[in-house]
Amino acid sequence: MARQPVIASRAEQLLDAAVIATAPVAGGDICSAVKLRLSNGRTAFLKSLTQAPPGFFAAEAAGLRWLAEVEGGAATPDVLGVDSDCLILGWVESGRPGADAANDFGRALARTHAAGASTYGAPDDGFIGRLPLRNRPLDTWAEFYAERRIAPYLKVARDRGLVADADAETIEKAVARVADLVPDEPPARLHGDLWNGNVLWGQDGRVYVVDPAAYGGHREVDLAMLALFGLPQLSQVLAAYQEIAPLADGWEERVALHQLFPLLVHACLFGGQYGARAARLAARYL
């Protein structure tokens, strides 16, 4: 590792330690990422974004701290520093997915969800990827899912020609059935963007969650996201989850319904066939 003076200096403004060395980290779609070696012996991770939207990194830091409040819940990296242009976290050394870690993660995620939230939503709006995430609370999950999680992204995708009108109508009809299809549950404490890329299998045997879009919502959303792009050891995770917090009957049939949200987000961010894929899933519920 060499030392990039500009990055090191920026990090040192937020840390109680000198930066000895830095190294770029590949893989981020939105932010630049750098590994930091600190004078206190710790290793840290700095992510930055030029002209980040106001509150972008503060929202992520707040989500990580909220998730970390849960004793025995899903592990998160330590928040070491945050400002308008960057976030510094404790470094997670990558390991391999294993059955024991998967079991522990399933139980931990169940505890996080069970810790709950005061409402469907959150006190402040946030971000999912680089898109705004509306969190103003609503009384029921059906209302919140339709108005805060589907409608904003369906409108953007439709306006940009990323979702055909007929497909958009199919999605709207399916979402209108959420109140009938999804059992009532108290708001869970959600990660909110829990796809495979935001799950880190640590070398220490723990599984960490990163990049949250946290809010109070239905726990099946997090589980649907885990299934969307293929989490390693998913069957182990789900079996262990159910030991702590059994899911309501028929949850497997509702997975696709709760995948409509992340698919529409992906349609807005990346285009491609995500909108059409969402419509094919939505058609199952008509």
Please state the pTM of the whole predicted model. Answer: 0.96
Q: Are 80 and 111 within one domain?
A: no
For residues 74 and 78, give the distance between their C-alpha atoms in angstroms, rounded to a whole number.
13
Domain residues for the domain of 24 are: 5-90
Q: Are 157 and 86 within one domain?
A: no
Instruction: Please check the confidence at residue 65 and state whether its pLDDT lies above 90.
Output: yes
* Domain finish residue from 44, 70, 90: 90
Angle ∠(104,105,108) on CA atoms, nearest 5: 85
User: How many domains, in total, are found in the chain?
Assistant: 2
The set of catalytic residues is 193
Q: Please give the structure tokens belonging to residue 263.
A: 């698919």
Q: What is the CATH number of the domain that holds 81?
A: 3.30.200.20
Tell me what the mean pLDDT of segment 78-100 comes to.
96
Helices (H) and strands (E) in the chain, counts: 11, 11
Tell me what the mean pLDDT of segment 254-280 comes to.
96
Q: Are 24 and 112 within one domain?
A: no
- Please report the pLDDT score of residue 96 as a whole number: 94
Q: Are 142 and 239 within one domain?
A: yes
Q: Are 30 and 165 within one domain?
A: no
- Please report the pLDDT score of residue 272 as a whole number: 85
Q: Are 82 and 164 within one domain?
A: no
Instruction: Please check the confidence at residue 28 and state whether its pLDDT lies above 80.
Output: no
Q: Are 84 and 108 within one domain?
A: no
Q: Are 275 and 216 within one domain?
A: yes
- Please report the pLDDT score of residue 2 as a whole number: 80
Instruction: Please check the confidence at residue 105 and state whether its pLDDT lies above 90.
Output: yes
Give tens-digit pLDDT for 112-143.
999 999 999 999 999 999 999 999 999 999 99
Q: Which residue spans within the chain are E strands per DSSP? A: 19-25, 32-38, 43-48, 79-83, 86-90, 126-128, 131-133, 188-190, 199-201, 207-209, 215-217
Q: Please give the structure tokens belonging to residue 230.
A: 């293929």
User: Is 28 or 242 the better-scoring residue by pLDDT?
Assistant: 242
* Domain finish residue from 49, 69, 90: 90
What percent of the chain shows pLDDT beyond 90?
94
Q: Please give the structure tokens belonging to residue 169.
A: 């109508």
Host H or E run for residue 125: none
Q: Are 16 and 75 within one domain?
A: yes
* Domain finish residue from 57, 72, 90: 90
Q: What is the CATH number of the domain that holds 231?
A: 3.90.1200.10
Q: Are 196 and 235 within one domain?
A: yes
**CB count, 10 Å around CB of 166?**
8
- Please report the pLDDT score of residue 119 as a whole number: 97
- Please report the pLDDT score of residue 262 as a whole number: 98
DSSP 83-111: ETTEEEEE---B----HHHHHHHHHHHHH
Question: Cβ distance 218 to 185 under 8 Å?
Answer: yes
User: How sure is the predictor about 150, in pLDDT bands with cuts at 50, 70 and 90?
Assistant: very high
- Please report the pLDDT score of residue 254 as a whole number: 98
**CB count, 10 Å around CB of 67?**
22
Question: Cβ distance 95 to 204 under 8 Å?
Answer: yes
Q: Are 67 and 154 within one domain?
A: no
The three-class DSSP label of residue 202 is: strand
For residues 93 and 95, give the distance between their C-alpha atoms in angstroms, rounded to a whole number.
7
Phi, psi of 38 (to 5 degrees): -105, 160
Give tens-digit pLDDT for 15-24.
989 999 999 9
Mean pLDDT of the chain: 96
Q: Are 54 and 74 within one domain?
A: yes
